[in-house]
């Protein structure tokens, strides 16, 4: 199994501070699930915002808590860290230290007078500085935890996102439009309607609907949209489950968003090479019914060169669930 470094943002009280765990797992998603389990955290939703960064790390966003986790595979050459117990540090003896350099003088502050009062005289004193919070306690004693920030981690890209996207807002926007799917009687037409809705609302250049039969080990193109749709349909290509980003999505039943597909080693280049269509960004969501993946809904190349965000994932995940329910009507 591979070794991974998993950054877990703080979630008091069980995770009082940002932590970094080193774990062994079959893949990055397994490492994340194992890390959350060890810390007593709830399981993440199946559909999460996942993106590959330029440094090869994987950033996974939980749409419910808006926490951003970072997973990076540790090279084989890195020696394994021995299991150890994290204990509170022993008190350090007092030592004399060189005096810190004097801070530059602060300008005098003039209090703002209240209504009906004359201006208050300047005291020449700087405003009192708030006390620094005491350091938080270390992690649980039964985990191998390093309380340090991973290397090459942009401070603004992990932790918690300020954007709050409520699932009910997305559902309210799509409910009336998707209700039209219940009146469509043709299988291909219904899947095409779902894909067209996703591409229009998210704003993408191309997309595909993949389906798979029970017991089969590959995904077939059921509906294709975009500049190379005709070529792709004529080729009749299939994507093995577990291969490429869409294959990973189907195998793990998890949504995947990638802002630069060429940087992701899982990207299946055979389709792009066969059609001559360049895939830049990609968003894929599994179509699952009763825990069984029956296909995937995928959109490519968000217009304007923007990366996919949490709202895009919520839209595609909802439409993928509706497409899975629609396919259930044709089961015999």
- From residue 180, how far is each of 39, 183, 193, 211, 311 by CA, in Å? 44, 6, 9, 21, 22
pLDDT at 105: 54
pLDDT at 260 over 70: yes
pLDDT at 51 over 50: yes
pLDDT at 48 over 70: no
pLDDT at 150: 36
Beta strand 67-74 pairing with 145-146: unpaired
* Rg for the chain, CA atoms, rounded: 26
User: Alpha-carbon distance 238 to 263, whole Å?
Assistant: 22
pLDDT at 161: 46
pLDDT at 261: 75
> Residue 280: pLDDT band by 50, 70, 90 thresholds?
confident
Beta strand 256-258 pairing with 282-289: antiparallel
Q: What is the mean pLDDT of residues 237-262?
A: 85
Report for 95-109, 137-151, 206-220: range of highest mean pLDDT = 206-220
> Residue 245: pLDDT band by 50, 70, 90 thresholds?
confident
Nearest Cα residue to 209 out of 294, 271, 268, 329: 294
pLDDT digits 0-9 by tens, 81-126: 544 444 444 444 444 444 545 555 554 444 444 444 454 444 455 5
> Residue 215: pLDDT band by 50, 70, 90 thresholds?
low
- From residue 43, how far is each of 29, 35, 46, 62 by CA, in Å? 12, 10, 9, 10
Q: What is the mean pLDDT of residues 214-226?
A: 88
- The whole-chain average pLDDT of the chain stands at 74
Q: What is the mean pLDDT of residues 32-61?
A: 77
> Residue 281: pLDDT band by 50, 70, 90 thresholds?
confident
pLDDT at 268 over 80: no
**Contact by Cβ (8 Å): 25, 1:** yes
Dihedrals phi, psi of 199, to nearest 5 degrees: -65, -40
pLDDT at 130 over 80: no
**Contact by Cβ (8 Å): 105, 118:** no
pLDDT at 209: 97
Residue, of 231 and 274, whose pLDDT is higher: 231
């Amino acid at each position: 199994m591979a070794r991974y470094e998993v950054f877990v943002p703080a979630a008091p009280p069980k995770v009082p501070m940002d932590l970094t765990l080193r774990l062994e797992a079959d893949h990055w998603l397994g490492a994340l699930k194992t890390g959350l389990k060890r810390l007593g955290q709830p399981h993440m939703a199946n559909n999460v915002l996942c993106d590959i960064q330029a440094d090869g790390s994987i950033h996974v966003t939980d749409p419910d808590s808006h926490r951003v986790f970072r997973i990076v595979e540790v090279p084989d050459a890195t020696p394994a860290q021995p299991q150890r117990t994290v204990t509170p540090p022993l008190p350090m003896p007092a030592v004399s230290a060189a005096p810190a350099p004097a801070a530059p003088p602060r300008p005098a502050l003039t209090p703002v007078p209240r209504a009906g009062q004359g201006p208050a005289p300047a005291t020449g004193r700087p405003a009192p500085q708030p006390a620094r919070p005491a350091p938080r306690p270390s992690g649980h004693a039964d985990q191998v935890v390093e309380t340090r920030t991973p290397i090459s981690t942009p401070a603004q890209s992990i932790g918690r996102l300020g954007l709050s996207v409520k699932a009910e807002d997305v559902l309210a926007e799509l409910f009336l439009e998707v209700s039209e799917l219940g009146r469509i009687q043709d299988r291909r037409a219904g899947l095409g309607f779902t894909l067209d809705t996703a591409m229009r609302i998210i704003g993408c250049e191309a997309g595909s609907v993949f389906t798979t039969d029970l017991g089969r080990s590959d995904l077939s193109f059921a509906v294709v949209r975009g500049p190379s749709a005709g070529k792709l349909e004529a080729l009749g290509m299939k994507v093995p489950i577990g291969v490429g980003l869409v294959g990973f999505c189907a195998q793990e039943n998890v949504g995947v968003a990638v802002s630069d597909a060429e940087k992701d080693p899982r990207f299946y280049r055979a389709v792009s090479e066969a059609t001559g269509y360049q895939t830049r960004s990609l968003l894929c969501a599994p179509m699952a019914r009763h825990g069984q993946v029956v296909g995937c809904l995928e959109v490519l190349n968000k217009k304007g060169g923007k990366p996919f965000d949490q709202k895009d994932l919520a839209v595609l995940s909802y439409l993928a669930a509706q497409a899975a329910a629609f396919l259930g009507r044709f089961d015999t």
